[in-house]
Amino acid sequence: MIEALRQRARLNALIRDFFAQRDVLEVETPIMSMAGNTEPNIEGFKTRFSGHVDAGSPERWLRTSPEYPLKRLLAAGVGDCYELGRVFRNGEAGGRHNPEFTMLEWYRVGWDHHRLIEETVALVRHALAMVGRQAALRVLTYRELFIETVGLDPFSADIAQLRAGLGEVGIQPDGLTRDDWLDLLMSHRIQAQFSPDCITVIHDWPATQAALARIRHADVPVAERFELYLGSVELANGYHELTDAAEQRQRFARDQAVRAARGAEQPPLDEAFLAALPSLPACAGVAVGVDRLLMALAGTGNIADVLAFDFAHA
């Protein structure tokens, strides 16, 4: 455990030096917010303020990422910035998950996702060099990945073909959408094929999985989004950021509809974030799971090995 703490301290220092050399400003944003995350597959923690009502809404949500306040700062003109801090997600505990974990998130004004991919790869390679390791690099589109690994075009294959692509993997199909089947293929068939000593970057995801990314309208619309993997472990998720507040509100509404259908709580929307979006400069942003990166550096599949105390012992 002591060595894990030293390794974390070294990585934190490396991250701060990496961005200091690139003139990217470190900032801190609130951990508690009046708004929550509407993403259907992410659950937040909620708490309540017991002080005077003039302080604002008593119901507060622990952040699942610093994305919304960071974009509010970008809209206010702060420029390139990053935050390194704790985030919280309910219901996620296990080998690779802890309900509180460390996230690094940064934004580059005037960049698209392709340019940000290069910087994200550079950061991961700097971290690997810290422990005397190197990694090859593969960058390919979501479509190229599926055709290469499971022989299916993810944009044209029907659900029956996607389901058949899982082979002997047994899945209860009730209520699963097309995107669910694509996600299952990624997690159960494709990721396991990634080389352990390779950084794999997948970009141009289905438009239905855009989240907060721009959509590029071509023959097949795609989300200008990327994910970065080291071996089979996902480390980063990045976007060429959407700046259309009306479109973002519609996406939030679709998220809330999915949550309602599942009987899940519908957290309040971040109206301050939506109000700031029209002033958001063209930019790209990415979030990196620092604990996942530490796991890769330590060569472990258990997140508890890189924490002072995991959830069961906190």
Residue 51 has pLDDT above 80, yes or no: yes
C-alpha angle with apex 280: 279 to 281, nearest 5 degrees? Answer: 110
pTM, entire model? 0.94
CB 87 within 8 A of CB 100: yes
DSSP the chain: -HHHHHHHHHHHHHHHHHHHHTTPEE----SEESS----TT-B--EEE--S-GGGS-SEEEE-S-SHHHHHHHHHTT--SEEEEEEEE-BT--SSS--SEEEEEEEEEET--HHHHHHHHHHHHHHHHHHTT---EEEEEEHHHHHHHHHS--TTT--HHHHHHHTTT-----TT--HHHHHHHHIIIIIGGGS-TTEEEEEEEEEGGG-TTB-EE-SSS-EEEEEEEEETTEEEEEEEEB---HHHHHHHHHHHHHHHHHTT---PPP-HHHHHHGGGPPSEEEEEEEHHHHHHHHHT-S-GGGGSSS-GGG-
Q: Is the pLDDT of residue 1 over 90?
A: no
**pLDDT tens digits, one per residue of 244-283:** 999 999 999 999 999 999 899 999 999 999 999 999 999 9
82: amino acid identity, one letter: Y
Tokens 């097949």 locate to 220
pLDDT in tens, 56-109: 789 999 999 999 999 999 999 999 999 999 999 998 788 889 999 999 999 999
pLDDT of residue 95: 85
Structure tokens at 230: 């080291």
